Structure 1
Amino acid sequence: MKNKLVKNLRYVILAAVLIFVTIQSYLHATIGGKDYASIHALCPYGALESLYSLIFSGTFIKKIFSGTFILLGLTLILALIFRRSFCGLICPFGTIQEIFGTLGKKLFKKRFELPKKIDNPLRYLKYVILFVTVYYGWKTAGLWMSPYDPWAAYGHAGEGITSLIEEFPIGSILLIVTIIGSILYDRFFCKYLCPMGAFYGILSKVSPGKITRDENTCVNCGLCNKNCPANIKVSESKTIKSAECLNCQSCILSCPMKDTLKFKFFGKGITPLAVIIIVVSIFFGGIAITKITNVYQTTPAPITSSTTLTPEEIKGYMTIQDAATALKMDINELYKKLNIPTTVPKDTKLKEVKNFVPDFEFEDAKENLETTNVPQTTNVPQTTPAPVTSSTTLNSEEIKGSMTIQEVSTALKIDISELYKKLNIPTTVPKDTKLKDVKNFVPDFEVETARESLKK
């Protein structure tokens, strides 16, 4: 009876985290990023991708905040002490897999396992994904993996099917694959594709905490094997040393023989209930403490009268009023700069101005904000950027979204093939494509991120 209650406690925790993250992501997608965290900010993997940028430039990559690094730090502590306990007791994407796994059990009355010849090599795939995604995340100073990330696709589902197809084509496909895979196989994504799980698995190898089996009291009923979501053959080992172990406590809670299976820390047994309480306390306690001390942040700082930003720092989620306040500009002057009528409400987000002015482009608007104020009279013509020629020389910060790939190559004196590599875009993108339009070919491409890449 007690074991069942502990199992239910685990399910409640997993469900609560999933519900919270889902609501946050939906509100972020439908209302905006000013008050609600994005799926990227709430995922510790984003901090791992941003680590290089933080160490060498002292900045976070776009959509990553201090709170994301705190989440990473807390999960690393858990991995070093309680192995992959974050995966087994907290991770919301793991919960989604378990939900569909339960559905699969009801449909097929059994769980399937891939043959060892296929299963064993496939488990190394997540380590390859870990290396590739971190490498390119560090190289591009951006969330390179986002379009391919099923968790990111899930978090942006609130934006509608069109957005998913345009921004997360591969991620959406992998989300469907993960769901179908989870119906058939336990924790499909965790076992074969999750780069964060691979990272925690590496750290877990040095953890002093391990599940042990007493051979003298084991009755070889096989329930531990049957209930292990990682498909570890618990009944065949005295000590579970596998990096695949999620430390979800399922094997211990399923064992009919008291104290036959135990989680031991430095040789001392800890009950499943205690493990769950300690893990949850470390994770959520750490978040609570850093929130109270105003260190934990997963959304941008609010715009106030003391906020001062450059045009480059203006974001699409900001309202027209926010932009005027941050730029220390009269709001009527800002309307002129943006070339939009004053009938557009000042509480309109910049990225939504196109709902009132169809040809409005946010990147073009930012370029207008970067130009020198020009008196708005009929006698003074509007300035236009000088054409880029072979004699033009610019630095990376002067690159504009209205410039083509060829123009950027010319202005920066960079071979165009090298420029494609620096921008991390395929050479199939035409060289006469404007930077602001590259996202039509590469959904995750951002002009701001491109500028950062060109600085290296």
Structure 2
Amino acid sequence: MKNNRLIKSVRYILLSIFLIFVTVEAYLHQVLGGRKSPSIHALCPYGELESMYSLVFNGTFIQKIFSGTFILLMLTLILAIVFRRSFCGLICPFGALQEFFGVLGKKLFKKRFVMNKNIDKPLRYLKYIILVVTLYYAWITAGLWVNPYDPWAAYGHISSGFSSLKEEYPIGFMILILILIGSLLYDRFFCKYLCPIGALYGIISKFSLTKITRDKDRCINCNLCSKNCPVNINVSELSEINSSECINCNLCMIACPSDKVLDIKTAGKSVKPLTNIILVISIFLGGIMITKATGLYEVTPPKITASTRITADEIKGYMTLEEISVAFKIELNELYERLQIPASIPKDTPLKEIKNFIPGFEVETVRELLR
């Protein structure tokens, strides 16, 4: 039991670290800009899934997506193949946020609620519909179509202030609030009903090398495994847990008071819960570190130099006036004249912040004037 508490603590520590890391990066992105800190889209595997069509047919990533996002997607798909939806249960920051709200909800209401089966079952299919719809529109528009409705994107922009949220993510922010309220009542509310990337991992995990088995003869039928499952799988009634909902969180095994009743098997071999966690994290972080060391992992745009060539359509809001001057080989004073802005605006001003000097000024204006 002592070892089980250790495993549970390790898991919560890992989830906390990933949530804090992404939250800090999202804050720094708002403060320092996209050149110095990645956007929350660049750190989300789903962003690359949305960019896949453009990458395959055009050889380019869509806006806010980089090679590092592609690597994150590949690593999480590998995890899904080998260790089921481990990314969801051990790494995902949004999953962590829901779990911590769940802990708060349990303290507030003294229990966790379970959705009525007649409502729960059809709602589970909603995430698959969201997966298809968001990918379809992302691919035909060659952009992050779901962005205004994305609760995770809204979370990443909280530090930009309520007025910015109201302007850029009114729907996404409302969905975020609903998800957090739902998480106070129900475990992993977003994961179970709305998460599109979770839907994809779930499909892949049906063919995963990892399974959880239950020894019926050793089981004392205490039902603690089912009660502690955050995605409400009836573990105590199954001999093999092969549900696409399983997020490989190991909480059922941690809750089990009997030895050798529940067993994680990867490629037919038993794996201890702590070993399972270590392997998952090693593959994920190891993959990032290796690709980063080789220069393949990038989640921020490259620095603009004299050799940089970009088109007007590739102009981004985080780019400064000076960078535009360098990229388009235009003298600064000429650039100011063409953009019809006063010379008093500092040259290191990001384009998206020019509106602070000239109300109503949009980045699209720069694109139009430099075409």
Q: Classify the TM-score, shorter chain.
A: over 0.9
| 1:358 is aligned to 2:364 | no
Matches within 5 A, 1:156-171: 156-171=157-172
**Aligned 8 A contact 1:212 1:264 in 2:** yes
CA distance in 2 between partners of 1:311 and 1:125 (Å) = 39
Q: Which residue number corresponds to residue 341 of structure 1?
A: 342
Q: Which residue number corresponds to residue 201 of structure 2?
A: 200
1:347 deviates by 1.1
Report which stretch shifted further, 35-44 or 162-171.
162-171
CA distance in 1 between partners of 2:318 and 2:140 (Å) = 26
CA distance in 2 between partners of 1:357 and 1:245 (Å) = 52
1:212 deviates by 0.5
CA distance in 2 between partners of 1:151 and 1:312 (Å) = 26
| 1:311 is aligned to 2:324 | no
2:37 maps to amino acid = Y
CA distance in 2 between partners of 1:191 and 1:132 (Å) = 17
Q: Which residue number corresponds to residue 152 of structure 1?
A: 153
Larger Cα-atom Rg: 1
Q: Which residue number corresponds to residue 83 of structure 1?
A: 84
1:367 deviates by 2.5
Percentage of matched positions with identical amino acids: 62
Q: For 1:342-383, what per-residue CA distance to the aligned partner results, in whole angstroms no more than 9, with x for missing partners?
A: 22111111221232233544322332223xxxxxxxxxxxxx
Report which stretch shifted further, 344-353 or 10-19.
344-353
Q: For 1:73-98, what per-residue CA distance to the aligned partner results, in whole angstroms no more than 9, with x for missing partners?
A: 00000000000010000000000110
**Aligned 8 A contact 1:308 1:328 in 2:** no
C-alpha distance 252-358 of structure 1, shift in aligned 2 (>3 A): same
| 1:12 is aligned to 2:13 | yes
3-state DSSP class of the match of 2:257?
coil
Q: Which residue number corresponds to residue 37 of structure 1?
A: 38
Q: For 1:160-196, what per-residue CA distance to the aligned partner results, in whole angstroms no more than 9, with x for missing partners?
A: 1122222212211111111111111111111111111
1:287 maps to amino acid = I
Q: Which residue number corresponds to residue 181 of structure 1?
A: 182
CA distance in 2 between partners of 1:53 and 1:365 (Å) = 24
CA distance in 1 between partners of 2:203 and 2:315 (Å) = 40
Count of equivalent residues: 370
Q: Compute the RMSD of aligned alpha carbons.
A: 1.2
CA distance in 1 between partners of 2:85 and 2:357 (Å) = 49
Question: 5+ residue gaps in structure 2?
Answer: none
CA distance in 2 between partners of 1:101 and 1:314 (Å) = 41
Q: Which residue number corresponds to residue 292 of structure 1?
A: 293
Return the TM-score normalized by structure 1. Answer: 0.79
| 1:265 is aligned to 2:266 | yes
CA distance in 1 between partners of 2:291 and 2:213 (Å) = 35
CA distance in 1 between partners of 2:368 and 2:149 (Å) = 30
Report which stretch shifted further, 185-194 or 347-356.
347-356
Q: For 1:50-76, what per-residue CA distance to the aligned partner results, in whole angstroms no more than 9, with x for missing partners?
A: 111111111111111111110000000
C-alpha distance 210-336 of structure 1, shift in aligned 2 (>3 A): same
**Aligned 8 A contact 1:227 1:251 in 2:** yes
Question: 5+ residue gaps in structure 1?
Answer: 371-456
CA distance in 2 between partners of 1:357 and 1:99 (Å) = 42
Q: Which residue number corresponds to residue 139 of structure 1?
A: 140
2:52 maps to amino acid = L
CA distance in 2 between partners of 1:33 and 1:300 (Å) = 7
CA distance in 2 between partners of 1:318 and 1:87 (Å) = 34
CA distance in 2 between partners of 1:100 and 1:195 (Å) = 21
CA distance in 1 between partners of 2:239 and 2:347 (Å) = 67
Q: Which residue number corresponds to residue 375 of structure 1?
A: none
Q: Which residue number corresponds to residue 24 of structure 1?
A: 25
Q: Taking CA–CA contacts closer than 8 Å with sequence separation of 6 or more, which of the two structures ends up with the larger relative contact order?
A: 2
Matches within 5 A, 1:403-418: none
CA distance in 1 between partners of 2:153 and 2:320 (Å) = 25
**Aligned 8 A contact 1:126 1:198 in 2:** yes
CA distance in 2 between partners of 1:255 and 1:220 (Å) = 10
Q: For 1:112-148, what per-residue CA distance to the aligned partner results, in whole angstroms no more than 9, with x for missing partners?
A: 1111111111111111111111111111111111111
